[in-house]
Amino acid sequence: MEKADRRAKRPRRVTGWTAFGVTVVLGVLLAFSFLSFAGPLAWPVILIIGGIVIWARPPARAWLGLIAGIGTFLLFVGIIHLNDTPCTAIGMISHGPGDGPYSCGGLDSKPWLIVGSVVFVAGIGLFAAARRRVTSG
């Protein structure tokens, strides 16, 4: 009887795109925690959401959302740095095509956008393929 009571207390297993979406959020937070100076502040939230996800028992294929979540964060970094002008090897201020000096700094957004797109599409594609294989077979 104790085993039946324990099963009754656990939530129903989340599946499909809902489970994938929750693990995407977890992947975004993990990428943020590793790539940001404020990352340690995210660890309590990551532990809480991770515990909830584990408690909700998503299928193994839903964990591919971590990949898509990391790609989402990489895309976000690329997008917020679209207007940056990376510095040349000369220094912080160089002369541009206009009348005078201009300031430079920031990241080159192109590598972030390319890698983020590849990782994001790979995560979604792998999940869709795994889901199709399970539902068709």
SS (H, E, C) 9-45: HCCCCCCHHHHHHHHHHHHHHHHHHHHCCCHHHHHHH
Helix 65-80 vs helix 109-136: angle between axes, to the nearest 10 degrees? Answer: 160
Report yes or no: 29 and 72 within 8 Å, Cβ to Cβ. Answer: no
Residue 108 — left, alpha, or beta (φ > 0 → left; ψ -120 to 50 → alpha)? beta
pTM, entire model: 0.77
Q: What are phi and psi of 85, to 5 degrees?
A: -115, 100
pLDDT tens, position by position, 47-77: 999 998 888 888 889 999 999 999 999 999 9
pLDDT at 91 over 60: no
Strand-pair partners of 95: 101
The pLDDT score that the predictor gives to residue 47 is 94
